[in-house]
């Protein structure tokens, strides 16, 4: 059975299907924050969506990170490394990409087991 979470006119923020939750690209609400604060905000959104779907970051399968400025890589990693479960890290990719709003410093998608 498929279930959609926080459905909007264009997309759902998360969809569960076949034993997994797929988290849509999450961005910070505070566009004026620096990369570390935006990263914390995005990871908190992911935590909340995972909890709403009935799982947690310890069951992450894959994470994709998009940075418009790859020079933010180290600062982002300081926050990410403190957040991720070091005993069960997911597969991960991080790429430089232009985001929809020039004030966004990060966008993250994720897939987790239920």
Domain boundaries, the chain: 3-113
Q: What is the model's pLDDT at position 60?
A: 98
- pLDDT tens across 46-93, in order? 999 999 999 999 999 999 999 999 999 999 999 999 999 999 999 999
The arrangement of secondary structure in 3-113, i.e. its CATH architecture, is 2-Layer Sandwich (3.30)
Q: Nearest 5°: phi and psi at 103?
A: -85, -10
Its pTM stands at: 0.96
């Amino acid at each position: 059975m498929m279930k959609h979470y926080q459905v909007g006119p264009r997309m759902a923020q998360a969809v569960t299907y076949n034993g997994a939750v797929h988290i849509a690209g999450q961005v910070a609400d505070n566009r004026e924050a620096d990369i570390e604060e935006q990263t914390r905000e995005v990871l908190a959104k992911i935590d909340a969506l995972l909890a709403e779907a009935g799982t947690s970051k310890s069951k992450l399968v894959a994470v994709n990170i998009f940075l418009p400025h790859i020079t933010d890589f180290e600062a982002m990693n300081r926050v990410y490394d403190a957040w991720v479960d070091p005993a069960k890290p997911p597969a991960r990719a991080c790429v430089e990409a232009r985001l929809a709003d020039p004030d966004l410093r990060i966008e993250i998608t994720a897939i987790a087991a239920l």
